[in-house]
Amino acid sequence: MKMVIVGSIGLDSVETAYGKAQRVLGGSVVYAAVAAKNFTKVGIVGVIGEDFPADFRKQIETQNICTLGLRQIEGKTFFWEGIYNERNCAETVQTQLNVFADFSPELPSIYCDCRILFLANIDPDLQLKVLKQVRAPELIAADTMNFWINGKPEKLSQVIAQIDLLFINDDELRMLTGIRNILSAAKEMLMKGPRYIVVKRGEHGAFIMGKNFLFFSPVYPVYDVVDPTGAGDSFAGGFLGYLASCGELSESEFRRAMIYGTVLASFNVENFSVEGIKKADPQSIKNRFQKMHKFVVYD
């Protein structure tokens, strides 16, 4: 398996300026996998409860997503409820870990030799357990959020010390470092383990920083952002899925990966749940990728 993703999978209730969606398919691993599968075959690791709708499972089980690492057990599925504020940032109303509370991930043997491992947003304890099972991925990336930064800071530091690349949004980066200037905060994080840090800045785009490497991407213009849920996960899925399909991981590939991440996130925010990201296909992704070039090249 070229790429493996571990993360949350569950039911989301969200309220945005465009309306409400109740108990729809969500979770970090779902958004990331549905984005990445446009580039490469992905294996997912996670757990669902007995109440998880069969139709949702069918939506995930597509040709390029392997669900060997997905377990269904007794109990209730992970549930998250959020409301988006006027800055389009999510405010969590409730998080019910349910079956994730005692989940101990076991990687199917065909996942252990993956080239790219993505520890999507989930309990850092689970991220650490997955790290122990993989052999030697070429790139290990992780994402997190305020819930874990506040709830499990020490375990999160242990994860960060062992990865190559951290995805994080600007507010969470400030929270994690205590540094207000976002470039200085990113630089500080590079001292904690990762070789690269990708900072997601919502409608202001994203940048990647490495030692002697800095690249900025604007957003792909979307005039009706219906639901931002999963934008970060689909960004990461597009970014890493593209890298999994490349040969050598050079800095120019990382630049292109930033643009692919941006493009996949743009599909995702156009509708609730995975309805937007499901519309992305190789041709529409290519069209938006080419348009991005025109937005930034000035000579």
E strand or H helix at 255 = helix 251-268
| Amino acid letter for position 105 | P
E strand or H helix at 71 = strand 65-72
88 binds ligand AMP (CB under 6 A): no
| Amino acid letter for position 205 | G
In the shown chain, the binding pattern of residues 108 to 127 toward ligand AMP, with x for contact by CB under 6 A and - for none, equals: -------------xx-----
Both tokens assigned to 195: 């070789």
> Looking at beta carbons only, is 65 or 109 nearer to ligand AMP?
65
Q: State the helix-helix crossing angle for 231-244 and 251-268, rounded to 10 degrees.
A: 140
Write out the binding residues for ligand AMP, residues 239-298 only, by CB under 6 A: none
27 binds ligand AMP (CB under 6 A): yes
Q: Is 136 exposed, middle or buried (0-12, 13-18, 19+ CB in 10 A)?
A: exposed
Among 4-12, 109-117, 133-141, 205-213, which window interacts with ligand AMP (CB under 6 A)?
4-12
210 binds ligand AMP (CB under 6 A): no
Among 5-13, 44-52, 53-61, 176-184, which window interacts with ligand AMP (CB under 6 A)?
5-13
> Looking at beta carbons only, is 107 or 231 nearer to ligand AMP?
231
Among 22-30, 40-48, 244-252, 287-295, which window interacts with ligand AMP (CB under 6 A)?
22-30
177 CB neighbour count, 10 Å cutoff: 19
Q: What's the distance, CA 136 to chain centroid?
A: 21
> Looking at beta carbons only, is 210 or 237 nearer to ligand AMP?
237
Please tell me whether residue 290 adopts helix, strand or coil conformation.
helix
Write out the binding residues for ligand AMP, residues 134-163 only, by CB under 6 A: 145, 147
81 binds ligand AMP (CB under 6 A): no
Query: Least distance in Å: CB of 200 to ligand AMP?
Result: 8
224 CB neighbour count, 10 Å cutoff: 9
Angle at 48 between CA 42 and CA 51, to 5 degrees: 135
Total residues in contact with ligand AMP, by rule CB under 6 A: 17
232 binds ligand AMP (CB under 6 A): yes
